[in-house]
Amino acid sequence: MKAKGAVAAVAKPALLGGKAVRKDGWPGWPVFDEKDEQAIVRVLRSGQWFRGYGKHVDRFEEAYAQLMGAKYCVATANGTSSLVAALAGAGVQAGDEVILPPYTFVACVNAVLVLDALPVFVDTDRATFQIDAKKIEAAITEHTRAIMPVHLGGNVVDLETVLSVAGKHKVPVIEDCCQAHMAEWKGKRVGIHGTAGCFSFQASKNLNSGEGGAILTNDEGMVERCHAAHTNGRTRKAGWSAESARAWNFRMTEFQAGLLMTQMGRLEEQSRVREENAKYLSKMLRAIPGIRPAEMYEGCTRNAYHLYMFRYEKERFGGLGRGRFLQALSAEGIGAGGGYTPLNKEAFIMNTLRSRGFGVVYSRSRIGEWEKRNRCPENDRLCEEGVWLTQNMLLGPRRDMEQIAEAVGKIAGYAGELGRG
């Protein structure tokens, strides 16, 4: 039986035998045409596939820096290597601590661990899905060498608080912008507010070359250190003849750069469509009790919407579990995910901290202390409440947004019955 009153007009959910809201697929991703094809073929036919021979990577670095409003850009093989190189460029070494959020992709913590540094997790602000910047200061110790906020889902962290705490304690800020191309804080693109900003161009990202990454910075010393870190220790100025230093090969190929140049031509328009659709969707979803679209801090003047994120409060859906909610949504033709699980609790992190190599650098009591501090209760809760839609779902007409809201509304109207089913 349907609940009485407000929900009387709601159609029966597909999971209970009703008609699905949506049968069509979603806008495809990646988006490409003959221009992208020609870009790849041009590199192929040139025979110059390595940045040391060709000019595509150089050109991409210049164009990306300009688009983002940065002085310098170092293109990299992927987002993870951009984080490693930027953290190394900021001086992170074994024995240091790096502050980061627990609501993020595993690459973030791995970038810290591969440098033999300690990841220090600061709890999440559930309302925005971002690191709770007000809690960062309490996590700073004499060992803190970098703060790595992540603009999760294309939303923007409270940069004002992050930058003020970082400035007070003289700690570099490495912005993880892997999900936030074109997002802005107070009218300026993310990635240029701290010491450096890191981007990913992996296949799912809003700017895509299959794999790829970039570091932005306005600091001349930093760009030299990042460039050296990404190409066997050779600085930009000294080039290939220079002596090596301890470093990696994180170089982007000419193919990636060629493709990024054409893909970049669509970024502004795609970002505009995502943002407009997301705003429209939020307006509709906010009217449904128990659905809470991710909020933005006042300084966030543009959200990149790599993910459309909302919190699902099952108490407002008669106790209907998130898993069943997602199942019902999928039956309506709206595929959504539950997002991240608590990164700070991943067993591999503790195993790494207890490994032989870490044992040489960190005392048992320091690791014991880390374990005691590693509590993020708000994040634990968010991991149970989060729901994500992917960025390509925001690239279609407004009608698509209406169908998403309609499907959620149907589930809300029949939550009791769905819970018993």
Residues at the interface with ligand PLP (CB under 6 A): 78-80, 104-105, 107-108, 150, 176, 178-179, 200, 202, 213
Contact predicate 358/371, CB 8 Å = no
Q: Nearer to ligand PLP by C-beta: 107 or 146?
A: 107
Least spacing, CB of residue 207 vs ligand PLP, in Å: 11
Compute the chain's Rg from CA coordinates: 23
Q: Nearer to ligand PLP by C-beta: 305 or 325?
A: 305
SS3 124: strand
Least spacing, CB of residue 262 vs ligand PLP, in Å: 19
Q: How far apart are CA 54 and CA 42, in angstroms?
A: 11
Other C-beta atoms within 10 Å of 245: how many?
12
Contact predicate 127/152, CB 8 Å = no
Q: Nearer to ligand PLP by C-beta: 200 or 263?
A: 200
Sheet containing strand 386-390, strands side by side: 291-293, 307-312, 386-390
Least spacing, CB of residue 260 vs ligand PLP, in Å: 13
- Bridge-based pairing of strands 291-293 and 307-312 is antiparallel
SS3 26: coil
Q: Nearer to ligand PLP by C-beta: 191 or 409?
A: 191
Least spacing, CB of residue 303 vs ligand PLP, in Å: 15
Least spacing, CB of residue 35 vs ligand PLP, in Å: 23
Least spacing, CB of residue 169 vs ligand PLP, in Å: 24
Q: Nearer to ligand PLP by C-beta: 112 or 407?
A: 112
Burial of 18 (0-12, 13-18, 19+ CB in 10 A): middle
Instruction: Give how far the C-alpha of residue 268 lies from the chain's centroid of Cα atoms, to the nearest Å.
Output: 18
Least spacing, CB of residue 203 vs ligand PLP, in Å: 9
Q: Nearer to ligand PLP by C-beta: 180 or 404?
A: 180
Q: Nearer to ligand PLP by C-beta: 79 or 386?
A: 79
Q: Residue 201's closest CA among 51, 69, 30, 66?
A: 30
Contact predicate 58/258, CB 8 Å = no
Q: Residue 112's closest CA among 174, 180, 45, 196?
A: 174
Residue with the shortest CB distance to ligand PLP? 79
Q: In which element (H, E) is residue 184 found?
A: strand 184-185
Q: Nearer to ligand PLP by C-beta: 103 or 362?
A: 103
Length of the chain: 421
Least spacing, CB of residue 340 vs ligand PLP, in Å: 10
Q: How far apart are CA 21 and CA 406, in angstroms?
A: 7
